[in-house]
Amino acid sequence: MHYARRRLVNVAAQSLAVLCTVAVLIPLVLILGYLVAKGVTSLNLDFFTQLPKPVGEPGGGMANAIVGTLILIGLACAFAVPLGVLTGVYLSEYGHGRFGWSVRFCADVLTGVPSIVIAIYAYTLIVKPLHSFSAYAGGWALGVIMLPIVTRTAEEMVKLVPGSLREASLALGVPAWRTTLWVVLRTARGGIVTGIMLAVARIAGETAPLLFTAFGNQFWHHGLGGPISSLPVQIYTYAISPFDDWHRQAWAGALVLLALIAFTSLAVRLLTRGRLRPAL
């Protein structure tokens, strides 16, 4: 009797879990499917190699925007990854006091700041004094959005490293700083990389912080001190235009952006995973 009841409850709970998973997956699959269906027809080699054509002229591509997005993500990472990872290490290893608490609080608040506000901040800090929209300003804005995500994931991942490994290293006569860099960080590497890739995925699609920092550019950029094109801004511009041709290109751009993020995530994971095999 008890056993029968327990089995029933088990089946019910399991079905509910499966049902919820399916419910979550349906919109995801629909969006992906629609995106592929709409985007793939407008994709061709030109899309990856050509600059945008003026209105009315058919063809053209988003080569500048693809490169621009990669540059902006690179700039954001160059600033947010070292700063975020080291802050995370600090918070986990030493941030037990009031200062650590404040940093953690600020990071959490920063996560909730609307990206448009961060754009205004980058505009005031970089665009205004330099009198020019620039890749630097765009990268900075994206980096600021990444920073708290990287910091908090790095902190959590470093916390998961067992204390026994730190002790093992210290007991070998290894100084604390080397222990942190070569034992603790190395052990937490997988989790930290995942956190960074999540942060990259988050910023890669951001449009608002780029509107008046990187601005956008229908041509190739001239150095990082000037306006630069990016996929999200290009998609936005094309999507709100009245031209069917541009709409098609916007779909293709969205598809490319998605694929770009998927491939970088995959590549980074493959490159940073451990290469150790188990013993025979």
For residue 213, which of 95, 75, 108, 93 has the smallest C-alpha distance? Answer: 75
> Whose Cβ is closer to other proteins: residue 132's or residue 187's?
187
- For 253, the token pair is 């751009």
- For 243, the token pair is 């031209």
Q: Rounded to whole angstroms, how far apart are CA atoms 111 and 68?
A: 25
Q: Rounded to whole angstroms, how far apart are CA atoms 202 and 206?
A: 7
For residue 156, which of 192, 182, 203 has the smallest C-alpha distance? Answer: 192
Q: Rounded to whole angstroms, how far apart are CA atoms 99 and 101?
A: 5
> Whose Cβ is closer to other proteins: residue 5's or residue 277's?
277
Question: What single-letter amino acid sits at 167?
Answer: E
Shortest distance, position 276 Cβ to other proteins, whole Å: 4
Contact window for other proteins (CB under 8 A) among 53-61, 126-134, 177-185, 262-270: 177-185
97 binds other proteins (CB under 8 A): no
| Chain centroid offset of residue 195 CA | 9
Q: Rounded to whole angstroms, how far apart are CA atoms 85 and 148?
A: 10
Q: What residues numbered 240-279 form the site for other proteins, per CB under 8 A?
A: 274, 276-279
**Binding residue for other proteins (CB under 8 A) from 178, 219, 220, 263?**
178
For residue 107, which of 77, 140, 147 has the smallest C-alpha distance? Answer: 147
Shortest distance, position 171 Cβ to other proteins, whole Å: 4
Binding map of other proteins across residues 157-176, x = CB under 8 A, - = no contact: -----x-xxxxxxxxxxxx-
For residue 231, which of 118, 75, 79, 72 has the smallest C-alpha distance? Answer: 72
Shortest distance, position 269 Cβ to other proteins, whole Å: 15
Shortest distance, position 275 Cβ to other proteins, whole Å: 9
Q: What residues numbered 179-238 form the site for other proteins, per CB under 8 A?
A: 179, 182-183, 186-187, 189
> Whose Cβ is closer to other proteins: residue 1's or residue 171's?
171
Q: Rounded to whole angstroms, how far apart are CA atoms 161 and 88?
A: 13
- For 3, the token pair is 């056993």
Shortest distance, position 95 Cβ to other proteins, whole Å: 13
- For 264, the token pair is 């970088």
Neighbours of 216 (CB within 10 A): 22
Asked if 134 contacts 228 with a C-beta cutoff of 8 angstroms, the reply is yes
- Number of residues near other proteins (by CB under 8 A): 27
Q: What residues numbered 102-161 form the site for other proteins, per CB under 8 A?
A: none
Name the site residues for other proteins (rule: CB under 8 A). Answer: 96, 162, 164-175, 178-179, 182-183, 186-187, 189, 274, 276-280
